[in-house]
Structure 1
Amino acid sequence: MTLLIPLIFGFSRYFIPDPLAIKVNAFFYFSTYVLWILQFKSLGAEFKISKFPFAYFLFIPLIFAIPFLYYFFVLFPMLNHGNKVLVFLFALFAASTCVYVLFLPTTKDFSGRHLIIFGIWLTEFTHMMQSYYHFNNEGLFIYPFARILQTSSFIFLLIGMTSYCRRNSRIIIEY
């Protein structure tokens, strides 16, 4: 479901006027981030300060700050008042997801966890590219390149999820 929502609503800018498309896309994209957080929680991700490696204390503030720095320094001057709140919520959920994915437990399959982390971070990078294109309307080749990167990030997420998914995760047990 979280892979289909962005693909379906990615084409909404061709059918819906731009001011409404920005609001619809922002709402559904940060809804997608909420679904990803719930997915990671069901796979066993949780904040435990006692199990933090020292490197996490160095990188987590940086990773959490990147979407907000982009929001305040790049997007904030371009946004009108109606879109500032939605895009801020989008940055909040994007930053939370980029940090929360780091807390997936390690498994025997080393690459699955790292593919999920790379897929989420690549998705956030493509959302930054797409938002610059939508609000600035410059850069002719940004939008197709961002769509190619978004599709490849979803492929990384699919491969990572299928190789990472454990038999004792809550999703598999419920079904």
Structure 2
Amino acid sequence: MSIETNTPDLLELELGIPRFILWFVMLPVLPITLIGLANLIGGEFLTALVLLVGLNGAFIAGYIALSERTRLRLDAGTGLASITRTSRLGTRRRDYPLEALDSAELDRSHTAREDRSTSKVVLVFRDTRPATRVTLSRWSVSGDGPALVANDINAWLRRHFGDEATAPGRHLSD
């Protein structure tokens, strides 16, 4: 999670799993491929098929799922809140009216141990009833990263909208 630009007219941030973690996900692919090829050469077709297609397929599917990066752009000049999701399968972009963006909140989930929770950032748009809630990432993380991102978004909204942020119907919650 990193903030690219934070000016009074533009907030750009990117959320994604660090690249070095993605490399660790792909690390087992090479040895599994070599073992699978050795089994194929040795005549163990079914074992080679399980290794080459099954296990490598699972690692590659995990890599594709985890490689998704989300870019949020709050642009006062265009009046748009743009969410661009980029993965190995392509790019998707959704634009929302910036004036409809009410706040950024945390969606918390608790694990079996109550002292550990994970969270992800959710944008709340007030132009629909019930409010439209857009999750910025598909995964939840522990730590204070999501809270810091939500606080940065809410602080930018307060600066941008000024006194409107305290007007009825406009609730900015951290």
TM-score band, normalised by shorter chain: under 0.3
Q: Which has the higher helix share?
A: 1
Higher relative contact order (CA 8 A, sep 6+): 1
Q: TM-score, normalised by structure 1?
A: 0.25
Q: TM-score, normalised by structure 2?
A: 0.25
Larger Rg: 2
